[in-house]
Amino acid sequence: MTTAPITDEVLIAAKPDVIFPAFLEMQHLNRWLCNHSDLHYRAREDGYFYFGWNDNYQVVGKFKVIDSPRRVVITWQGGGEPVTEVEYTLEATDGGTRVKMTHSGYGENDAQLRENHRRGWEGLLNDLKALIETGFDARLYRRPMLGVFIDALTPERKAALGVPVDHGIVIDNVMEGMGAQRAGLQRGDVIVELNGVPMRTFDDISAAYKGKRGGDRVPVAFYRGAEKHQVEMELGKRSMPELPHTVAELAARMLETYDGLAAELDKLIKNVPEHTLAAAPQPGEWSANQNLAHLIWSERFLQMDMWNIYGGGFGIDWPDNNVLQLAGILTNHPTSDDLMAELKRAFTATIAAIKAMPPETADRKVIYMRIAETVTNYVDHTREHIGQIRSTLEQLGVKKAEAAV
C-alpha cells in the first residue's frame, strides 16, 4: 500500500521554454527551491544532483526524465529517507503556463515523511512564479537585513584589526539609517554571533535570520579590536530594486554612472604626488593605488560573473582579497595614471558586455534582472573604495581630498 502523493500547481505568466530552466539550472534552483545545488556542471538524464538548504536539510538524486519544455522527473532522497520521486509538468495556457508538481512514492509507513515534505513544499511554487515573473528571489526580499557590507576574516585582516578570534564576519561598511548603524556598529567590527548563531561563514547569516522579519530585534556580539561588545539591533526590511527594464536602458544607465565615477576619481587624485598615492596609511591597509588596482580586478570579476550568469551558472564565488589579486595589475600598471587608464578600459569593457546581450534577454527575467542587479550593485562597491581612497589621502595629509569630492 502507498500513501497519496503531494501535489501543487501554479499559473505562471511566461512561456514553457522560459520556465523550464528553473528545474535544471543552479541559478534558478538556488533562487526558489533550495539554497545550494550541484548538478555536476549540466543537468542530463541519468545525471546526479545535490540540493541543500541552510537548515542543513540535503537531498541527492538523479534526473530520470528531461523532456523540454514539458516534463522533468527526478528521484529525491534526503538523509535517512527512502527514495521518492518528484515530477514537474508544464502545460501552455492562454494565461501563460500551468506548472504542476507531484511528489510520490511514499509507502504506508511514510506518513511522517510525507508530512515533512508537504510542509517543505508549501509556497515553493509561488516562489518559482515570483522568480520567473519578476526575476527576483522572493525569499530574499522576505528576509530581513543587517544593513552592512561584509567581508571574510582572513588571517591578514585579523592581524590588521587586532581581533582575538579566527572566525567572524568583517563589516566593510554600514548602510546609512539601517539597524546596524543605529546600533553603533561600524567599519572594521567583526561580528562573531548573530541571534545566537556563531558567524563562521556567510551562510550562517541566513541561519540566524530563520523565523525573523524586518523590524524584529536580535542580539549581536562583535569585536572592535580586542574588546568584545554585545548590542541589540533592529533588522531592516528589504525592497525590490528599481532596475532598467531593457538591455539598452541598462547600458545607458551604466555608461552615465561609470563616466561619473571616473570623473570623481580623476578629481580626487589629481596633482597628488605618486609617492603619496602609493603609500599605505597604516600597516595592513591599502594605498590609493592598491584601491585602484582592486577596482580594476573587481570590474574584470564583474564581467566574468555576468558571463557566468548569462550562460546559466549561479555566479562565481569571491573567496577573499589575497595577495595574488593585485600583484599582476600593479606590475603592469605601476602608476596612478596607468591604473586610471586601465580602470576606464575596464568600465568600457563592462558596457560592451551589457550591449552584447540580445534585446530579448530582458524577456528572461531570471537572467536579465540578475545581471542588472549585479552590475548596479557593483556601483556601491566602487563608491565604497572611492571613500577609502579619500580617507587614505586625508590620513596622509592631502588636505584637498575632501574638497575634491
Q: Output the pTM of the full model.
A: 0.73
Which among 77, 69, 79, 65 is positioned nearest to 15, based on CA atoms?
69
Residue 207: inside a domain? yes
Q: What is the DSSP string of 52-121?
A: E-TTS-EEEEEEEEEETTTEEEEEEEETTPPPEEEEEEEEEETTEEEEEEEEE-EETT-HHHHHHHHHHH
CATH number of the domain to which 105 belongs = 3.30.530.20
My answer on whether 384 and 253 are in the same domain is yes
Three cell numbers, residue 280: 599605505
Intervals of the chain under pLDDT 50: 401-405
* Residue 204 CB coordination number (10 Å): 19
pLDDT at 207: 84
My answer on whether 311 and 333 are in the same domain is yes
**Given CA atoms 385, 389, 390, 396 in this order, what sign does their dihedral have?**
positive
My answer on whether 132 and 149 are in the same domain is no
Q: Which of 212, 234, 256 is the last residue of a domain?
A: 234
The kind and range of the H/E element at 145 are: none
My answer on whether 271 and 342 are in the same domain is yes
Range of the domain at 365: 247-395
The total number of structural domains in the chain stands at: 3
My answer on whether 273 and 351 are in the same domain is yes
CATH number of the domain to which 226 belongs = 2.30.42.10
Residue 75: inside a domain? yes
Q: pLDDT of 84-123, one tens digit each?
A: 999 999 999 998 999 999 999 999 999 999 999 999 999 9
pLDDT at 1: 60
My answer on whether 253 and 377 are in the same domain is yes
pLDDT at 400: 53
Residue pointed to by grid coordinates 510542509: 119
